[in-house]
Structure 1
Amino acid sequence: MALAAMTASLCLGTGATAGAQGRKALTQDTYDTWRQIQGAVLSPDGRWAMYTLTPVVGDGDVVLRETGGTRERRLPRGWTGRPVTSVVVDSPFVAPQPQFTADSRYAVFLGYPPQAQYDQARRDKLPAARQPKAILSIVPLQGDSVASIPRVRSYRLPRESGRVVAYLLEPDEAPRDTAAPATAAGRPAQRKTYGSTLVIRDLATGNEARIADVTSYVVDDSGRYLAYAVASRTPQSDGVYLRHLATQQTATVMAGEGDYRQLAMDRAGTQLAFVSNRDEYREPRPRHVLYYATMRAPTPVVVAAPGAVDGLNPSDKAPVSFTRSGDALTFGVAAPPLDSIPADSLADKAVFDLWHWKDRRLQPQQRVEANRDRDRAWTTVYVPRTKRILRLANDTMPQAQLSDDGRVALVTTNVPYAVEAMWGEGGTDVYVVDVTSGTVTPVARRQEFNAQLSPGARYVTWYGDGRWSAYQVATGRTIDLTGAIRGVRFDDETWDSPSTPQPYGIAGWTRDDRSLLVYSRFDVWEVDPSGARPPRVVTDSVGVQEKLVFRLVDLDPDERWIDPAQPLLLRAFDDENKGSGFYRDRLGVTAAPQRIVFGDRSYGTPQRARKGGQYLLTQQTLREFPDLYTGASLDAVTRISDANPQQGEYRWPTVELVRWTSADGIPLKGLLYKPDDFDASRQYPMIVYYYETLSDGLHTYHAPTGRNVINPVVYTSLGYVVFFPDITYEIGFPGPSAMKSIVPGVKSIVARGFVNPKAIGLAGQSWGGYQTAYLITQTSMFAAAVPNAPVANMTSAYGGIRWGTGLARAFQYEKTQSRIGGSIWEYPMRYLENSPLFHLDRVTTPVFFMHNDADDAVPWYQGIELFVGLRRLGKEVYFISYNGDVHNPRKRANQKDIDLRMQQFFANKLQGAPAPDWMVRGIPFLEKGRDQLNRSPDVPR
């Protein structure tokens, strides 16, 4: 019998009665129909909102909604992939956000065929050229028409013009296997990838111009120029071309057989750059040249020839881009690639990895990063005004950030500390480069947190040694910005990890780098980077006094500066009671911030129309989906979406913020979820789920999902009380810390009388899985435990690999989440005492857990150690591993399978349901793939 059919038997557990006004329990057939809102955006004039409404599985719609009225249009968008807010599974992409034209007259978006077509193509193993293709939709906002163009690969809209849209079609068919031209040495050249048709459409008239064989294209912000590269079956047509969109005149920038890549245009539409191998195209290993042209004189000049920049070549893999102002151009240079090794040449040879003790990166990390390494290029700057070229980055100083005017660069390196970083003792050296002179000046050594270049390139700022510091580029002075502020910390006051507490961060800069705004735990501070003016608390200390966390809302992401003449919009979060809202404040004024709106809910980040004052944002509670709201003021908004009207048909919980004291006397908080028809005179089974701290999510909406975690909405629907306790840690003792936090919290709930003390289960994933495995070795108060993807043995996990990154795991124990606080040689007993494996003989709790054989975070042999140890000791344990899946399952079928098996396990242990077959007899290897599940009888009420 199929897994989904089992759900019905699990919906009749304790508390799942008809008392919830006839509402239904949430089952697996419900999950995939729940809809999410993606990519919500306002038109520039604020009169329209647009978003994608998509189910977890299936086909979605684009919704256009008038913000000041009730007019709404829904247009099919097809399969857009799983929502960004969910685990991405079985999906080839996440659909790009729909866009409005700059004049607010049209909506433009890519739609897709139905999911059924993609599924069929996958089953039929169709080649890429024959798989379903996207559809471009152009929607006039006035009227009911829509233009749909099939087989569109991409499109571009000018940022400041609504006259045209340019879009690139898919090739009509797969490229034919034409013979590659011979190289100068007589060997065949690399096979050429031809372009496809580019269409330039006048949005008002619908007239179109078509250009053949285009591989890439760019449009300037104003919509005056379109530049495009051609790869044609007629070699002499290969090249870069520039089209004036108003006159429809096209100029040849450069032509001739070759590849033309990394096309870039500045925002003003006055400059163009690209790389090409035209001059060496028929050579065995053609090298690229960087070219530069202006629109006034579109004949390109050579900026960087092969070998001209420190003996390196311009790269066709690295992006070419102009700075925001257009004053400088960045590109990449690289050494010639190594010759590839044919696979068949190794057939009779040894194939191995050699691990060298002086390698900066372990072999697994090198393997994970191999493609990046093959394509790596070093950032180089070209300043057209002075014709200055300077390589900013190299293998010893690999990261570079260029100022907008191209005068200054911030260069950083962690290379000297790469080996130490494997156990968490890395760092970054910071330098400033004067592009004009090439002078490199050291700024700071071995900093733990990132340094930043101010927007005006006058300062470099960083956080270290408990203070914010600024380096003044013009004078070379280093200024202590916050060290003199007494009684205020600018790093995390609640930090309970062995590493250095992280800073709360930077809010932004005022114009001309005059002031820097930084965060303390609760407030916003203004500091003078030159040190001339004393620091002042912008929010008048209201944050710390009222336990409100203030953070600046950026309403114009394209603006580099904070305008001191304009009011500041602040998000506020109540750290004690978890409400939120918005306040207004001003720089340079000694006054408390003014409340705009505040309540027992969670507000999303608002966006504001580029022209006009219309806002768009979400707000949510546990019982209210984060639908869209809009209005001219944040305290007077109207809901304009209703994503999940079906929610009213289902049981939905309530949530309570609870407080207790840990065994060490530390006040703690947690979330208690109760069933829809909760009756305090009854006793319920309870499931306890945790990670570190979850109480800030009091007003978070939980869509019903089927995964490897405890969804409180689903489990309360099935008759459980669900408890999310916060945990605080003592360095060196993560297991006992979890015990001291969680167990008193559980006891405080049991003392209230509505939880059956003999029907309490534990569950956790990853770090939560470890804590679950540890807790059951220390207490027998739990009747069931699900420690998914756990670490069982810290002594073996310490030397393991995070296979997703290739990093050694030692840093987690010495410096970060696992919180041992030192190496296994410094603290051997901490590793032993905190490892569940060495205490498994004490376990009395039945265990079921998942650990997948392609886990990319916690090596799955940790799960094997846990299972084998419990089995050796004769303990009841069930272990499931989804073949080829990772730490959190990506395959949808696996997500739903583990969800249902967890439900069945808890139903058996906490609600008295009969055990399913897989718990009774297992699944023999020779029966792998067969459905082993049979329907369980209804659970006694």
Structure 2
Amino acid sequence: MRSSLLLLTGLLSAPAFAQQAPKKPLDHSVYDQWQSVAGQRISHNGKYVLFQVKPQQGDGTLYLKTAGNQTLRQISRGDSAVFSADSKYAVFSISPRYQDVRQARIKKKKPDQMPKDSLGIYGLSTGKLTKYADVKSFQLAEEGTVLAFLATKPLLKDTLKKAPVDTVKKITDKLLETQKGGAILTILNLEKGQPRTFEAVTDYKVSKSGNKVAFAVAAPKGNKTVRSGLFVFDVATGNLRQLSAGKGTYKNLAFDDAGKQLAFTAEKYPEKALSKPFTLYYSDFADSARVLLAPSANGLKKGWSPSGFGKVLFSENGEKLFFGTAPDLIPQDTTLVEFEHAKLDIWNYKDDYLQPMQLKNLKKELQRSYLAVAYPKQGGKYIQLADEYLQDAYMADKKNAEYVLAVTDTANRVAMQWQGNTMKRAYLVSTRTGERVAINPKGSKSRFQLSPGGQYAIWYDYNAKGWFAYSVADRETINLAAKAKVDFTDEENDSPTDPQPYGIAAWTKNDDAVLLYDRYDIWKVDPKTGAASNFTNGVGRQQKLRFRYEIPVAKQDFIEPKDELWLQVQDETTKQWGYYKKNITSAKAPQRVTLVPMAYSQLMQAKNADVFLYTKTSVQNPADLYVSRNLQKETKLSNINPQQKDYNWFTAELVHWTTPKGYAATGVLYKPENFDPNKKYPMVAYFYEKVSDGLYRYNAPAPTPSRLDIAMFASNGYLVFTPDISYTIGEPGASAVEFVNSGVEALKKNSWVDGAHIGIQGQSWGGYQVAYLITQTPMYAAAWAGAPVVNMTSAYGGIRWESGMSRQFQYERTQSRLGATLWENQDLYIRNSPLFYLPKVETPVVIMANDADGAVPWYQGIEMFTDLRRLNKPVWLLQYNGEAHNLVKRENRKDISIRELQFFDHYLKGAPAPVWLERGVPAVEKGRNWGLETSTSSVR
């Protein structure tokens, strides 16, 4: 074996073994207090920012600040905060106290008895804070200062606050009585005040400018003062109009951009009606809403109606109205007696989708709608754009475009079982005539999308391995990769499937150019001619920098003609992150702004100012929030996790070695902050594909969904090693041996690595590799395999229950990387299955296999456990009841975090074994004894 190791030290400022005051190691009690920044926003004028600081469990705090870091207000439990378009107000919900919700859950309160959110409105210049109680939801006008919100309690005027208690109670009780089935809608102009309230509201919509608010009312039975129907309130005049009358269900309220038109769907059938198809309504506010399209109307397919589930929206110019139609559901036969008829699923080999997949998507299919368009100002002209053959239709960002893109894989779906995807045909469908223009008549393995202006359809063809565009105007297909003469696909693809493209960055205005990624650089391509230029001037490939771009302004669909592009980069060699910038029209090379040993988030830019909001992090620095105009001079806005200074933290460094077959390999080594090179440390290797790009990622201590908690282990005196793995097709198990074992062997040459006490841990694909590795070598003193596949022959024909898909494609084409069917190469499946080599296992191993795992069949863990048990090998299985592939419930995450550290402490440090390891927990003690207390045994 040839193996050499190079440690890239000096990446962090302080020596790992510097003298310092003793710090305590992390323990499982610290999780809840560890914080993160969330919900950050910047005002349109760039002068104000808001963000939440959230503990992992408990009550967070909303901060309202100036861009200069002056704190305007701290709101306990503030959430879902937004700025008004004029940058004068912040509006947010205020969540109930965590302890109040906890107590309500303990007392098994009904949903309507649970603690409710409140609403907060803060004046950024006045400092005035106004609160409203028991608010269910709110909407703030996109371009105005009009706010609407639904509350379960009435908004009492100031005069009522001074009234006798019994008077207030009578008024409150009367108003609350009207809210059965609805709530109280308050409409408020933040600049002018004077709220208006309306009762028994079930749904509402604020227009883009805030000039109007539409809402639906469901009057309670017996109430003679409230009218059911659909209403519109004119905010400027205070006028209220009823557009549609009658009880029923009103949905999909939609204004045009100017707030001069409204459309919605409604059904007004008796409550006990077996069939309740919807009708599409329209109003220009000159009169009551008129029926635009009724069930079974002329032009609709027989038995079809407007859909209550299809989204309703206007084109930007207000000319077109898009909506969904669908076949009416077959009414349920109420004469059937439930216990007298069969319940079964019938699998048929001709089915497009396997039964589990059909059942998984049942709700979605019952609510499926097919895109249609109407022209309300042209007599209600209606055109069906999609149907059962062309099910999926997509509009351009600029919804004035004449064509929509429709894609179908009809008649090609069965092959999804082993390919994982399907051959697709794409069409442009005219919104004016319904004409369908075939883009790729023969079909292709592709993903299609429309340019923002709708002038081009663009797709990557996996078979042709190139980008293509179809010109709507010229009806021609253009090869976008031909003139660039560059590979736009994954150069490092190591699976038997077609390599993925690196993707699209953005489009320029008027669809003049599209920016495409190769491995390193960004290419600017003319979709009309295919003419291409390297926008980043080849700097990426020359310097091994990966350039990427995301438009930083929210709701901006394309790059403006004079935009300065801030390009995010990562150095492929050092893993450092930073930004370069370049004007979209410039021919010069991009200018370096910053490249540092930290990780940057994507930039968020104020709509009307050159001010950026972003997070920056490293192993030692949590992801705090910064604001800056140039990323050079920056202002730090948050200071989360100050308690970290009290704990023994850790460092990270890149390691390089050469594998036995001569491959250059890379990984990350984490060391305790108080690392002493004169001591020996146990080590745990954790792996999943390639992870070294996360060198500067902050690893907060947190209850694990089943991965290794790097912070917890490093803080408690472990070395943690995360090697990257490259794969040889057909040899996923041997590939893990090649990279993981050789990396561990290289590190063992250091005197400070305790080579006799090394463990391995992996989840899912990593769990499989743990199971395989322990059949190939006795070098590991302990192993932990989460949701492993151990028998590829039995797993091959199984189902991924979370999606309902067959697992065959995974083994033939994707992550399992075998590249052949079971009957084409049976030996390949056996050779890579740990199950057939379990007699060789000498390593104690814990398996996690959960009974609601939707990705890896639960029985795979059972096969591994029962067979190792029969072989009298030390093995344990943790089965979290009702849990998924990765643990979701926090209480379960905390539990497995404790057990994982206990297990490795016992086998790698000689700590006493906990009871669950020593003797287990009998079923009769389930829920009474968790076996976490330790015994007195030791293995060292």
User: How high is the TM-score relative to the length of structure 2?
Assistant: 0.91
Aligned counterpart, 1:66: 66
- Confirm whether residue 302 of structure 1 aligns to residue 300 of structure 2: no
- Confirm whether residue 683 of structure 1 aligns to residue 680 of structure 2: yes
* CA distance in structure 2 between the aligned counterparts of 1:722 and 1:938, rounded to whole angstroms: 26
> Structure 2: which amino acid aligns with 1:413?
T
The count of residues paired between Structure 1 and Structure 2 equals 887
Aligned counterpart, 1:82: none
Pairing 1:219-258 to 2, within 5 Å after superposition: 219-233=206-220, 234=223, 237-258=227-248
Aligned counterpart, 2:926: 928
* CA distance in structure 2 between the aligned counterparts of 1:527 and 1:269, rounded to whole angstroms: 38
**1:189-228 CA-partner distances (Å, limit 9, x unpaired):** xxx9732210012324542111112111111221111111
Aligned counterpart, 1:333: 325
445-454 or 150-159, which deviates more: 445-454
- Aligned residues of 1:273 and 1:292 also touching (Cα < 8 A): yes
* CA distance in structure 2 between the aligned counterparts of 1:568 and 1:141, rounded to whole angstroms: 31
User: How high is the TM-score relative to the length of structure 1?
Assistant: 0.91
- Confirm whether residue 170 of structure 1 aligns to residue 157 of structure 2: no
> Structure 2: which amino acid aligns with 1:498?
P
Change (3 A) 1:729 1:300: same
Query: 1:326, CA displacement in angstroms?
Result: 3.2
Aligned counterpart, 1:85: none
Aligned counterpart, 1:45: 45
Query: 1:341, CA displacement in angstroms?
Result: 5.8
313-322 or 722-731, which deviates more: 313-322
344-353 or 494-503, which deviates more: 344-353
- Aligned residues of 1:383 and 1:406 also touching (Cα < 8 A): no
- Aligned residues of 2:72 and 2:124 also touching (Cα < 8 A): no
Q: Select 2:414's aligned residue among 407, 419, 440.
A: 419
Q: Select 1:391's aligned residue among 366, 384, 394.
A: 384
Aligned counterpart, 1:450: 447
Could you tell me which runs of 5 or more consecutive residues in structure 1 were left unpaired when the two chains were aligned: 1-15, 79-94, 174-191
- Aligned residues of 1:61 and 1:75 also touching (Cα < 8 A): yes
> Structure 2: which amino acid aligns with 1:300?
A
Aligned counterpart, 1:90: none
* CA distance in structure 1 between the aligned counterparts of 2:153 and 2:733, rounded to whole angstroms: 58
Q: Select 1:768's aligned residue among 762, 766, 787.
A: 766
**1:80-131 CA-partner distances (Å, limit 9, x unpaired):** xxxxxxxxxxxxxxx6x31011122211111111112222222222221111
**1:839-898 CA-partner distances (Å, limit 9, x unpaired):** 101111111121111112111100000001111111111111011111111121211111
- Aligned residues of 2:714 and 2:720 also touching (Cα < 8 A): yes
Q: Select 2:753's aligned residue among 755, 761, 764.
A: 755
* CA distance in structure 1 between the aligned counterparts of 2:41 and 2:761, rounded to whole angstroms: 38
- Aligned residues of 2:912 and 2:934 also touching (Cα < 8 A): no
**1:797-856 CA-partner distances (Å, limit 9, x unpaired):** 111111111111111111111111121111211111100000101111111121111112
Aligned counterpart, 1:6: none
* CA distance in structure 2 between the aligned counterparts of 1:667 and 1:298, rounded to whole angstroms: 74
Q: Select 2:199's aligned residue among 212, 224, 236.
A: 212
> Structure 1: which amino acid aligns with 2:238?
Q
- Confirm whether residue 402 of structure 1 aligns to residue 390 of structure 2: no
> Structure 2: which amino acid aligns with 1:327?
E
**1:587-606 CA-partner distances (Å, limit 9, x unpaired):** 34321100112211100111
- Aligned residues of 1:35 and 1:53 also touching (Cα < 8 A): yes
- Aligned residues of 1:409 and 1:432 also touching (Cα < 8 A): yes
Q: Select 2:828's aligned residue among 830, 833, 854.
A: 830
Aligned counterpart, 1:665: 662
- Aligned residues of 1:538 and 1:586 also touching (Cα < 8 A): no
Q: Select 2:616's aligned residue among 616, 619, 630.
A: 619
Change (3 A) 1:635 1:245: same
Query: 1:152, CA displacement in angstroms?
Result: 0.5
Three-state SS of the structure 2 residue aligned to 1:119 is helix
* CA distance in structure 1 between the aligned counterparts of 2:367 and 2:775, rounded to whole angstroms: 49
- Aligned residues of 2:69 and 2:635 also touching (Cα < 8 A): no
Query: 1:938, CA displacement in angstroms?
Result: 11
Three-state SS of the structure 2 residue aligned to 1:28 is coil
Three-state SS of the structure 2 residue aligned to 1:446 is coil
* CA distance in structure 1 between the aligned counterparts of 2:914 and 2:832, rounded to whole angstroms: 33
Query: 1:294, CA displacement in angstroms?
Result: 1.8
Percent identity over paired residues: 39
> Structure 2: which amino acid aligns with 1:612?
A
Query: 1:43, CA displacement in angstroms?
Result: 1.6
Aligned counterpart, 2:12: none
Aligned counterpart, 1:461: 458
Structure with the bigger RCO (C-alpha within 8 Å, sep 6+) is 1
Pairing 1:66-465 to 2, within 5 Å after superposition: 66-77=66-77, 97-162=80-145, 164-170=146-152, 194-233=181-220, 234=223, 237-278=227-268, 284-295=274-285, 297-308=286-297, 309-311=300-302, 312-340=304-332, 345-386=337-378, 387-403=380-396, 404-424=399-419, 426-444=422-440, 445-464=442-461, 465=464
Three-state SS of the structure 1 residue aligned to 2:623 is strand
- Aligned residues of 2:613 and 2:627 also touching (Cα < 8 A): yes
Pairing 1:855-894 to 2, within 5 Å after superposition: 855-894=853-892
Query: 1:342, CA displacement in angstroms?
Result: 6.3
* CA distance in structure 1 between the aligned counterparts of 2:873 and 2:457, rounded to whole angstroms: 59
Change (3 A) 1:885 1:284: closer
Change (3 A) 1:133 1:874: same
* CA distance in structure 2 between the aligned counterparts of 1:416 and 1:619, rounded to whole angstroms: 48
> Structure 2: which amino acid aligns with 1:77?
R
Change (3 A) 1:825 1:242: same
- Aligned residues of 1:619 and 1:628 also touching (Cα < 8 A): yes
- Aligned residues of 1:327 and 1:406 also touching (Cα < 8 A): no
Aligned counterpart, 2:839: 841
Q: Select 1:693's aligned residue among 690, 695, 713.
A: 690
> Structure 2: which amino acid aligns with 1:666?
Y
* CA distance in structure 1 between the aligned counterparts of 2:290 and 2:365, rounded to whole angstroms: 30
Three-state SS of the structure 1 residue aligned to 2:860 is helix
> Structure 2: which amino acid aligns with 1:330?
F
* CA distance in structure 1 between the aligned counterparts of 2:582 and 2:246, rounded to whole angstroms: 59
Query: 1:664, CA displacement in angstroms?
Result: 2.7
Query: 1:279, CA displacement in angstroms?
Result: 7.3
* CA distance in structure 2 between the aligned counterparts of 1:617 and 1:250, rounded to whole angstroms: 44
Three-state SS of the structure 2 residue aligned to 1:837 is helix
Could you tell me which runs of 5 or more consecutive residues in structure 2 were left unpaired when the two chains were aligned: 1-15, 155-168, 170-178
- Aligned residues of 1:257 and 1:281 also touching (Cα < 8 A): no
Aligned counterpart, 1:35: 35
* CA distance in structure 2 between the aligned counterparts of 1:149 and 1:379, rounded to whole angstroms: 39
- Aligned residues of 1:564 and 1:586 also touching (Cα < 8 A): no
* CA distance in structure 2 between the aligned counterparts of 1:644 and 1:341, rounded to whole angstroms: 60
- Confirm whether residue 542 of structure 1 aligns to residue 539 of structure 2: yes
* CA distance in structure 1 between the aligned counterparts of 2:102 and 2:109, rounded to whole angstroms: 11
Change (3 A) 1:881 1:24: same
Query: 1:939, CA displacement in angstroms?
Result: 9.0
Three-state SS of the structure 2 residue aligned to 1:677 is coil
Query: 1:299, CA displacement in angstroms?
Result: 3.2
Query: 1:534, CA displacement in angstroms?
Result: 2.4
* CA distance in structure 2 between the aligned counterparts of 1:145 and 1:435, rounded to whole angstroms: 49
- Confirm whether residue 656 of structure 1 aligns to residue 653 of structure 2: yes
Query: 1:491, CA displacement in angstroms?
Result: 1.0
- Aligned residues of 2:265 and 2:281 also touching (Cα < 8 A): yes
* CA distance in structure 2 between the aligned counterparts of 1:426 and 1:278, rounded to whole angstroms: 41
Q: Select 2:787's aligned residue among 786, 789, 804.
A: 789
Query: 1:900, CA displacement in angstroms?
Result: 0.9
**1:3-44 CA-partner distances (Å, limit 9, x unpaired):** xxxxxxxxxxxxx99976221111111011111111101122
Query: 1:240, CA displacement in angstroms?
Result: 1.6
